[in-house]
Amino acid sequence: MPKMTFITADGSRNEVDAPEGLSVLEIAHRNKIDLEGACEGSLACSTCHIVVDPDWYERLAAAEEDEEDMLDLAFGLTSTSRLGCQIIMKQELDGLVVSVPVATRNMSVDKK
C-alpha cells in the first residue's frame, strides 16, 4: 500500500498508509491529521489547503480552474499549494510529502 507523510503545523512528521483512490483529505481524516475540509471535499472552500513538498509538486496532475479559484482564498498560499480534496492517491504518489498550514480561512463560495 502507498504511504504518504503529513508535516503538521508543529513540525511533526506523520507517515501514514495512503490507500489508492482516496483523497489526501480523506487520508488525513482517517489518520486524525488536523486538516479541516469544511465543505467535505465538494470544492466549495479552501480549508483543506496543503503545501506539497516541491519534490512532489510537478508529479501531480495540474490543478483545474475550480481548484485554482478556491486556492485564491487560502491562507498562506504558496507556489506549491493545493487542496487536499483534489489530490487522489495512486501508486505513483507513494512517498508523497505534504505540509498542513498553521491556519485556514473558511470563505466558502456559493456555487449555483
Report the CATH number of the 3-99 domain. Answer: 3.10.20.30
pTM: 0.90
pLDDT of residue 109: 41
Q: How far is Cα 75 from Cα 93, in angstroms, rounded to an integer? A: 25
Say how many C-beta atoms besides its own lie within 10 A of residue 55's C-beta. 11
Nearest to 25 by CA among 105, 83, 94, 101: 83
Parse the chain into domains and list their residue ranges: 3-99
Per-residue pLDDT of the chain (112 residues; tens, 9 = 90+): 999 999 998 999 999 999 999 999 999 999 999 999 999 999 999 999 999 999 999 999 999 999 999 999 898 899 999 999 999 999 999 999 999 998 655 544 433 3
pLDDT of residue 107: 44
